[in-house]
Homo-oligomer: A and B are copies of this chain.
Amino acid sequence: MSRDPLISDLIARLLDGLPEDAVLTDPDVTASYSHDMASFCPAGEPAVVVLPRTTEQVQHVMRTATELRVPVVPQGARSGLSGAANASDGCIVLSLIRMDRVLEINAVDRYAVVEPGVINADLSRAVEEKGLCYPPDPSSWEMCTIGGNIGTASGGLCCVKYGVTAEYVLGLKVVLADGRLLTTGRRTAKGVAGYDLTRLFVGSEGSLGVVVEAVLALKPKPPRQLVLAAEFGSAAAAGDAVCRIMEGGHVPSLLELMDRTTLKAVNDLARMGLPEETEALLLAAFDTADPAADLAAVGALCEAAGATQVIPADTPAESELLLKARRLSLIALEAVKGATMIDDVCVPRSRLTEMLEGVERIAAKFQLTIGVCAHAGDGNTHPTVCFDAADPEESRRARESFDEIMALGLELGGTITGEHGVGILKKEWLAREAGPVAMELQRAVKDAFDPLGLLNPGKLF
């Protein structure tokens, strides 16, 4: 099959500045780079996939793209859940996974300098060896990249104590749409010189520039956490416990919730013997100097809120076992019907009960299984709609229930996305949450950074 001459020209020009093994053109191969892990998000056919190893190579790609006016879709591990990494037709997919070096770990200044393709878990282990900790821990941490984490401003389990990715990005090197290299931020603990361009890139989903290096803040490695599990007879009682814990001034290192649907799904998958008659299971952890004392205090608050059983772990091993169920939640829910849509609506934690009860109503209305696990301490819920993707009618109901969940989140004073980002999946909803004035400014910012609109077009707005 003869190739489109425009694409042939594009590939020839890319090869001027990239080694052959960094340019993939076989459609069977490039197709495998066309989408991330989101459901219901259209994905186009990339013209070519490039896998640069250096900043100069990324600059060459962007210069070529600008000259030829070809859109570019930056990618990490494609573990995202909003379609932000999905290809558009005829684009260059710019995968950063080969730029995977940890360049520096500094224990005195508590920072690491990394390339974007470093796997989150690899960085976490590397800094741990030096007595340090990189807290952001998305569920996909064993596969997702730091560049992807920055692009989606991702969260995780430990955010309730340690905050999200955005709080750990001190400075960036970014290749702009036209190939110029921008340096933002700093390696110092503080710095307020000019507008905070660093933070603007965090969560921008590759639409403003391509991150090629990041300076990340580190924390001292905390003591190992101990976990407590508390069972509740209703979502309201579990929500009440969360409020009591946070109002009481406690600072858990995680505070997670699983509803009955999720518990059942995990049992079905892994035969863990979880209490399926329980309406909600709360997991609280502390990595303080005396975690047992904190667990005792929190256990008492759970009982006051109506917990039917409180099980504190005595050892880190027991704690890991309790957490295992939580970590399996999404996989287990996926096994229910083969496909899921994972929402990540975040509400003020005082509205958590209303959110949980509302999702139950929505599941009943649409006759769907919707399991909820949640970073309850942050009010960040993951209502996970289980559906059969081969059944168009059920798929339609899934999509509709998903939208209704976002509407509920906004009604409760929340946001449509706590940690997964907007991508393609929540585009119309971003406009609804942000309103016309903010959207006009968001677009103006995009124009300022990428006047030709080549970077990840069709995402965010």
Chain A residues packing against B (C-beta within 8 Å)? 106-110, 131, 152-155, 159-160, 163-164, 166-167, 176, 180-184, 186-197, 199-200, 202-204, 208, 220-221, 243, 246-247, 249-251, 288-290, 346-350, 375, 377-380, 413-422, 426, 429-430, 433-435, 437-438, 441-442, 444-449, 460-461
* Contact status B220-A250, CB under 8 Å: yes
User: Chain B residue with minimal CB distance to A415?
Assistant: B191
User: Chain B residue with minimal CB distance to A249?
Assistant: B220
**What is the distance, in angstroms, from A412's C-beta to the closest C-beta of chain B?**
10
Residues on B with beta carbons closer than 8 Å to the beta carbon of A290: 289
* Contact status B167-A167, CB under 8 Å: yes
Q: How far is the CA of A190 from the CA of B377 in the complex (A)?
A: 10
Q: How far is the CA of A176 from the CA of B435 in the complex (A)?
A: 15
Residues on B with beta carbons closer than 8 Å to the beta carbon of A152: 192
Q: How far is the CA of A288 from the CA of B438 in the complex (A)?
A: 41
Q: How far is the CA of A378 from the CA of B414 in the complex (A)?
A: 34
**What is the distance, in angstroms, from A17's C-beta to the closest C-beta of chain B?**
20
Residues on B with beta carbons closer than 8 Å to the beta carbon of A250: 220
Residues on B with beta carbons closer than 8 Å to the beta carbon of A246: 108-110
- With A154-B192, A194-B438 given, can you name 13 additional A-B contacts, CB distance below 8 Å? A108-B349, A109-B348, A183-B437, A186-B415, A188-B348, A189-B379, A193-B433, A194-B434, A195-B203, A195-B442, A288-B289, A289-B290, A444-B448
* Contact status B190-A438, CB under 8 Å: no
* Contact status A195-B415, CB under 8 Å: no
* Contact status A109-B349, CB under 8 Å: yes
Which of B192, B208, B378 is within 8 Å of A188, CB to CB?
Answer: B378
Residues on B with beta carbons closer than 8 Å to the beta carbon of A445: 195, 197, 200, 445, 448
Residues on B with beta carbons closer than 8 Å to the beta carbon of A200: 195-196, 199-200, 445
Known: A193-B433, A247-B108. A188 touches B441 (CB 8 A): no
Q: How far is the CA of A348 from the CA of B107 in the complex (A)?
A: 11
Residues on B with beta carbons closer than 8 Å to the beta carbon of A109: 246, 348-350, 379
* Contact status B434-A193, CB under 8 Å: yes
**What is the distance, in angstroms, from A250's C-beta to the closest C-beta of chain B?**
7
* Contact status B193-A415, CB under 8 Å: yes
Residues on B with beta carbons closer than 8 Å to the beta carbon of A155: 190, 192
* Contact status A187-B448, CB under 8 Å: no
**What is the distance, in angstroms, from A450's C-beta to the closest C-beta of chain B?**
11
Residues on B with beta carbons closer than 8 Å to the beta carbon of A348: 106, 108-109, 187-188
Most buried by B among A176, A191, A208: A191
**What is the distance, in angstroms, from A173's C-beta to the closest C-beta of chain B?**
11
Residues on B with beta carbons closer than 8 Å to the beta carbon of A461: 194
Q: How far is the CA of A444 from the CA of B380 in the complex (A)?
A: 34
Instruction: Please tell me how many copies of the chain the complex holds.
Output: 2
Which of B181, B182, B192 is within 8 Å of A419, CB to CB?
Answer: B192
- List 10 interface pairs A-B (beta carbons < 8 Å), by A numbering: A108-B243, A159-B189, A176-B437, A189-B418, A190-B378, A193-B416, A195-B446, A197-B442, A444-B449, A448-B448
User: Chain B residue with minimal CB distance to A186?
Assistant: B415
User: Chain B residue with minimal CB distance to A380?
Assistant: B190
Residues on B with beta carbons closer than 8 Å to the beta carbon of A202: 196
* Contact status A442-B194, CB under 8 Å: yes
Known: A193-B430, A197-B438, A416-B193. A188 touches B289 (CB 8 A): no
* Contact status B197-A221, CB under 8 Å: no
Residues on B with beta carbons closer than 8 Å to the beta carbon of A131: 249
Q: How far is the CA of A251 from the CA of B251 in the complex (A)?
A: 16
**What is the distance, in angstroms, from A188's C-beta to the closest C-beta of chain B?**
4
* Contact status A190-B164, CB under 8 Å: yes
Residues on B with beta carbons closer than 8 Å to the beta carbon of A413: 187-188
* Contact status A106-B416, CB under 8 Å: no
* Contact status B249-A221, CB under 8 Å: yes
* Contact status A192-B417, CB under 8 Å: yes
Q: How far is the CA of A162 from the CA of B430 in the complex (A)?
A: 31
Known: A183-B438, A220-B249, A444-B448. A418 touches B188 (CB 8 A): yes
* Contact status B153-A192, CB under 8 Å: yes
**What is the distance, in angstroms, from A421's C-beta to the closest C-beta of chain B?**
6
* Contact status A195-B204, CB under 8 Å: yes
**What is the distance, in angstroms, from A235's C-beta to the closest C-beta of chain B?**
17
**What is the distance, in angstroms, from A184's C-beta to the closest C-beta of chain B?**
6
Q: How far is the CA of A106 from the CA of B350 in the complex (A)?
A: 9
